[in-house]
Structure 1
Amino acid sequence: MIEHVKTVILWLLILLSVFLTYQIWIFQPNYRVLQSTEYIDRTQIGDEKGLDQVIRPKQIVLYNDGLSFSPIGSLEYIQKYYDEYHGVSVEQITVTTNFIDIEIDEEFKGIEFIFPSSIPFEALNEFFHFNNNKSSFIRNIDRIVFFIESSDGKEQVHARLISNNEQVVANAITNISAESFREDITVDDKNGSYYEVFPYNIVNYGSGFMGTVFLPEDDLMINSGTYLAKTISAEHFKQSLFSDPSFVKNYLQSNGEESFTDGNRMMNVLNNGNVLQYINPVFGDGIDRNDKHILFTGLDFLNGHGGFTNSYYYDSVKSVGDKDEINFRLFVDGIPVYRANFFEINNLYEITLQRGSGNRIEQYKRPLFFVDEEPINLGESTILPSGYEVIKAINNKEDFNPYLLTDISVGYMMVKRQSFVILEPRWFIYYNNSWEVVNVVNGMEDSEVITDGLE
């Protein structure tokens, strides 16, 4: 009898096991909860961009009839020249460490591209088509000059690639037609976008290599403007920056700032919601950095985590302790933004990325808003003094040290309000590793105008 009971129980257990197995096999989870959760596409924050879209010269100079001209503050003309010379083929490259300055006389016909920071040569493969491997002798480029040169009665367009830091010059012959080149550098200034300029040497690298800026002979006329500033939700970046956003916890700090973390990575919303900071620490991973330039690492990171929300261009690279740091700067209508009313907050107009010992981006800071392309109100033109007045003002700067000056440029001062920004043109200098407004007296003191009502 007991054996029969055991047999019955055993069969019941077997049947129960078969039933449960079948139920597991046919089980369909209820996806309605997941489907009702808002999902933010990682690609919808901004646009992915290639190298050729984030590298732009800070200045273009045309040489013709013994004069020099520059389309200052004109995105249309800068884009025009940059696009026309994109994809140029070069050959017969010769590399030298002897700098021979080009004689700018009435016979000289040329165009020069001056970049805000050294461009890694690998990036120039996006700009040039090299027909031999001599290019490997230069690691980075600061300036490119195209010019006509005659030999045996034949005119050819040459290219000179200059690396000030390395004190190296590469000379090459291009496939550009001399006839079309003459047309390109002929200034037809119906819109008043070109200014006659003169060279001013700032940094002496030695052996004839100079950091040169071109400043206007006369006063400039640059428009100010008011633009809508649209907030980007931190939720968008939470979806983009964390591998599993469902594990991210949100904390409100005592100072009113907001933080997000998954226990390793952290994302902070700073400065009244205007700035995002992302930290992804690396703890002793033992990964050695390869030779990949941070420009490529930074661009890959930005394209993979939301893209670009405005016209940001490669601006500078520097070392911060044992880390590399790269900056992409906001440009509006072809003019860079260098300062804001919150003077200490660079990331209202810069995207900054830091890379540690490996190739991983460990810190990322950027604005949490984007600026509309078209102004809602275009202000009256602001008169900026000539380059001569700027030089005079710089030399009159109290305790001025010329060795700390490395750049001079027209740029915008940004005044950030709740839902809009005001952009005012000013002269700036890069002095002692930061951008400063030049106080030039031209009917009024610039410093008084800037600080009035902005603090």
Structure 2
Amino acid sequence: MIERVKTAALIALVTLSLLQSYLLAYSFPNLGATVTAEQEYIPTETMGQSQKIDQVIFPEDIVLHMGNDRHTVLYPDMTYYKNIYKDISEGEFRSFQRMRAGGTNWNELRAQAIGVELRFGKGIPVMLLQRVITRLEGDILFMGDSIERIWIMKRADNELPKAYFFSSDGVTVYESNQNDLSTQRLEQQAGYGAYLPAYTLWRGSVYIAEQPVESFEYRFGYASYSPEQMQRNLFFDQAKTRNLKDYDGTQIYTDGKRGLQLESNGTWMVYTNPVALLDAPNSLADNTIAAVQFVNQHGGWDGANRFVGPGPDSDNRSIVFQQYFGAYPLLSSSGLRYGQIELKLEHGVVREYERSLLTRGERQGDSTVRWLPAGEELRAVLNQYARRGEIETVFPGLVVTQQRRENGAKPELVFEPVWAARLNDGTQVAIAQAWAAGFKPEPPAAAGTDVPPGAAGGGSAPSGAGQAQGPDFGSGSLLPGAGDAAGEGG
């Protein structure tokens, strides 16, 4: 009897083992992203727009080098910018050779060679660049790096263009030995610069315009996400959520673990989720993809946004997305935080999430032409700035404020053009205001009348805009807060 039981048990075990082997061999594993039960539980509602990762990856500007030390700068949403970026994104770049940046005189090449330079600011992981430049391949060292800029140039000593990918470490450069670059195409792209304002280098590495740049002031209505919307969107168990008020009037929502704090008169939110920090290094590419998915589910996007690389010294936990309107980024003012979405993640799990609760509505009235100063006037403003030695780049931006028209029923969002600067710590500051509405600078002597429509990415001037007697910077060329760090510059 005992022997029969043992035999039956053995047969059952063998049968079970064969069944498990079959399931392992012929079933497919779940290759999707794994989430916790808590993450699956959140009943999110559709709020803003959704974005794909490739939609937030694009250069902060494109520099055209035309030879004989002639340069110009293109910004996102400009016609030429979009044409060049699309062409390079569809190109092929393989078989990379590593070289040291210090072994080549790049300043000399910048002045002499014809080229197109895509600049990503602090750097983009190659794994994310592949989402845009799909025929980009390299060895494991290249694929694990971050790229600060892509420079395609035709040197005088070479018949064919060369493609160089500059690492964000500032030391390594990768040259593509297998690509589909064309000399004719590159010369055509660099030739676009003949229709645009000239730029020169200031303090050796910062491009500034030599002719005034046309921009526009806009006014918009707006809506706002309510605290209750964000509470429903971010907290797992609504029954446990409590509303508290700090001593200074700040509103705080908490479920005992996570917190949602409202700042800037209820227009800015800070969400915190306590997550243990691990010793294992974070992947910037993985955290960026997770951040895009999180924003898609929790608030969405208001227009175009660009991923801002954190730089080589980052721990890869901080992710920032810069909001744009047209060609230019949106900047906070002294009374309103706006224009960026900021997150901190730990291996794909969001620890902190900050953003504005305001969403842009319909445009109110016509846009107003505002010209940004250039040349000696802009250099004078920059030379007076206390932290001028920390400036990495100067760019046109739009400062956002809340204003109410005379006899206006509702306040509006006003986007006012400025020259802004990014400092080496990532801080963005408005440096110089545009001239007053109605002032129109004299055209440069060599300016033609055959500029293709839309080349600069702007619109038409509003009817009835007269010419003022001269420039008027209002409260001064330095915006409030621009000189607060006196004594810290170089």
TM range (shorter): 0.7 to 0.9
Offset of residue 267 of structure 1: 1.3
* Aligned with 1:183 (options 158, 181, 188): 188
**Map of 1:146-225 to 2, 5 A cutoff?**
146-148=152-154, 155-172=159-176, 173-187=178-192, 194-201=196-203, 212-225=205-218
Deviation string 1:138-157 (CA, Å, 9 cap, x unpaired) is 621111112246888xx544
C-alpha separation in 1, matches of 2:341 and 2:279? 25
Residues 1:111 and 2:116 aligned together: yes
Offset of residue 163 of structure 1: 2.1
Residues 1:360 and 2:349 aligned together: yes
* Aligned with 1:130 (options 119, 122, 136): 136
Supply the AA of the counterpart residue of 1:96: M
C-alpha separation in 2, matches of 1:81 and 1:321? 30
Supply the AA of the counterpart residue of 2:73: S
Deviation string 1:305-349 (CA, Å, 9 cap, x unpaired) is 33322222122427999893222122111101233141xx54x22
Change in CA separation of 1:402 and 1:188 when aligned onto 2, cut-off 3 Å:
closer
Which residue is equivalent to 1:209? none
Offset of residue 359 of structure 1: 4.3
Supply the AA of the counterpart residue of 1:353: L
| Larger displacement relative to structure 2 (376-385 or 110-119) | 376-385
Change in CA separation of 1:285 and 1:73 when aligned onto 2, cut-off 3 Å:
closer
Offset of residue 289 of structure 1: 4.3
Change in CA separation of 1:89 and 1:380 when aligned onto 2, cut-off 3 Å:
same
C-alpha separation in 2, matches of 1:106 and 1:259? 55
Supply the AA of the counterpart residue of 2:354: K
C-alpha separation in 2, matches of 1:447 and 1:139? 45
Supply the AA of the counterpart residue of 1:158: K
Offset of residue 382 of structure 1: 1.7
Change in CA separation of 1:388 and 1:299 when aligned onto 2, cut-off 3 Å:
farther
Which residue is equivalent to 1:382? 370
3-state SS of paired residue (2:363): coil
Residues 1:266 and 2:294 aligned together: no
C-alpha separation in 1, matches of 2:120 and 2:197? 19
C-alpha separation in 2, matches of 1:292 and 1:167? 20
Residues 1:409 and 2:437 aligned together: no
Offset of residue 188 of structure 1: 7.9
3-state SS of paired residue (2:378): helix
C-alpha separation in 2, matches of 1:367 and 1:179? 45
Which residue is equivalent to 2:341? 351
Instruction: State whether residues 59 and 118 of structure 2, in contact with CA within 8 Å, keep that contact through their aligned partners in structure 1.
Output: yes
| Larger displacement relative to structure 2 (100-109 or 232-241) | 100-109
Offset of residue 168 of structure 1: 0.6
Which residue is equivalent to 1:121? 126
Supply the AA of the counterpart residue of 2:355: R
3-state SS of paired residue (2:169): coil
Supply the AA of the counterpart residue of 1:368: L
Residues 1:436 and 2:438 aligned together: no
Supply the AA of the counterpart residue of 1:375: R
C-alpha separation in 2, matches of 1:441 and 1:243? 47
Change in CA separation of 1:256 and 1:177 when aligned onto 2, cut-off 3 Å:
same
Supply the AA of the counterpart residue of 2:150: I
Which residue is equivalent to 1:85? 88
C-alpha separation in 2, matches of 1:80 and 1:336? 20
Instruction: State whether residues 61 and 69 of structure 1, in contact with CA within 8 Å, keep that contact through their aligned partners in structure 2.
Output: yes
Which residue is equivalent to 1:424? 416
3-state SS of paired residue (2:59): coil
Change in CA separation of 1:180 and 1:361 when aligned onto 2, cut-off 3 Å:
same
Change in CA separation of 1:406 and 1:254 when aligned onto 2, cut-off 3 Å:
same
C-alpha separation in 2, matches of 1:133 and 1:441? 47
> Where does the alignment leave 5 or more consecutive residues of structure 1 unmatched?
1-39, 203-211
C-alpha separation in 2, matches of 1:259 and 1:167? 46
Q: What is the alpha-carbon root mean square deviation over aligned residues?
A: 3.4
3-state SS of paired residue (1:123): helix
Deviation string 1:166-213 (CA, Å, 9 cap, x unpaired) is 411011142234333433333287xx7x322123356xxxxxxxxx33
C-alpha separation in 2, matches of 1:187 and 1:259? 52
Instruction: State whether residues 341 and 414 of structure 1, in contact with CA within 8 Å, keep that contact through their aligned partners in structure 2.
Output: no
Offset of residue 74 of structure 1: 4.9
**Map of 1:301-380 to 2, 5 A cutoff?**
301-317=294-310, 324-342=317-335, 346=337, 348-355=338-345, 359-372=348-361, 375-380=363-368
Supply the AA of the counterpart residue of 1:140: S
Matched pairs, number: 390
Q: TM-score, normalised by structure 1?
A: 0.74
| Larger displacement relative to structure 2 (416-425 or 112-121) | 416-425
- Give the structure with higher Rg (CA): 1
Offset of residue 392 of structure 1: 2.5
C-alpha separation in 2, matches of 1:444 and 1:170? 47
3-state SS of paired residue (1:85): helix
3-state SS of paired residue (1:392): helix
Residues 1:58 and 2:60 aligned together: yes
Supply the AA of the counterpart residue of 2:340: E
C-alpha separation in 2, matches of 1:309 and 1:131? 33
| Larger displacement relative to structure 2 (45-54 or 250-259) | 250-259
3-state SS of paired residue (1:229): strand
Supply the AA of the counterpart residue of 1:355: L
Offset of residue 364 of structure 1: 0.8
| Larger displacement relative to structure 2 (74-83 or 118-127) | 74-83
Change in CA separation of 1:179 and 1:390 when aligned onto 2, cut-off 3 Å:
same
Instruction: State whether residues 223 and 378 of structure 1, in contact with CA within 8 Å, keep that contact through their aligned partners in structure 2.
Output: no
Supply the AA of the counterpart residue of 1:78: Y
Which residue is equivalent to 2:283? 291
C-alpha separation in 2, matches of 1:132 and 1:277? 39
C-alpha separation in 2, matches of 1:136 and 1:43? 40
Deviation string 1:43-102 (CA, Å, 9 cap, x unpaired) is 621233223211221211222354322235754433332222214211231111144245
More strand by share: 1
C-alpha separation in 1, matches of 2:419 and 2:281? 39
Change in CA separation of 1:157 and 1:307 when aligned onto 2, cut-off 3 Å:
farther
**Map of 1:14-93 to 2, 5 A cutoff?**
42=44, 44-64=46-66, 66=68, 67-72=70-75, 74-93=77-96
Supply the AA of the counterpart residue of 1:56: F
3-state SS of paired residue (1:160): strand
C-alpha separation in 2, matches of 1:394 and 1:149? 33
Change in CA separation of 1:116 and 1:106 when aligned onto 2, cut-off 3 Å:
closer
